[in-house]
Amino acid sequence: MGWLAAYYLWIKAFHVMSVIAWMAGLFYLPRLFVYHSERVKTGEAADGLFQTMEEKLLRVIMNPAMIAVWLSGLLLASVPGVIDWGQIWPWTKLAGIIAMSWFHMWLAARRRDFLQGRNLLSGRRYRMMNEVPTVLMLVIVISVIVKP
């Protein structure tokens, strides 16, 4: 475990960069779904274009970033003395991260709906869901920085 403490700042930097990449995708994919659902009909040329953009965003950016966030976060949490699990903040942060991961999976399921031509959600619903990562980000950042 001594090597974790030695590389703590490097792991933390990698963690922050991974969070930024993941959050960018979590903000942008629902916005793509808004325009996909409102302006494109199944089978149109633009349908294929949106599906490609959504897939690349999810598979090339979001999935690796989420995995990197989890791995680096678990490494950071393993450094002795960094987290006091007797406090409430690590638990609220963990709940936020789990909810963020659920939202990621929900987005992946909606992408499959578009792929199969069976999207049932409106642009308005996607706009509302686009607020989920913002709320979760607030919970996570306040948990880590303020430590209520």
What was the pLDDT predicted at 4?
A: 86
Residue 104: both structure tokens together? 């990621």
Q: Give the helix, strand, coil percentages of the chain, each rounded to 5.
A: 80, 0, 20
Tokens standing for residue 77: 């949490």
The reported pLDDT for the residue numbered 87 is 96
By residue range, what is the domain housing residue 129? 2-145
pLDDT per position as a tens digit, 17-67: 999 999 999 999 999 999 999 999 888 999 999 999 999 999 999 999 999
Diameter of the chain by CA atoms?
57
Q: How many structural domains compose the chain? A: 1
Find the mean pLDDT for residues 77-101: 95
pLDDT (tens digit per residue) in 99-128: 999 999 999 999 999 999 999 999 999 999
User: Which residue type sits at 73?
Assistant: G
Residues 6+ apart with CB under 8 A from 95: 139
Close Cβ partners of 140 (under 8 Å, ≥ 6 residues apart): 93, 96, 97, 100
Tokens linked to 96: 């936020």
Yes or no: say if 22 and 66 are a contact pair by the CB < 8 Å rule. yes
pLDDT at 1 over 70: no
Against a cut of 0.85, is the pTM above it?
A: yes
Residue at 1: amino acid letter: M
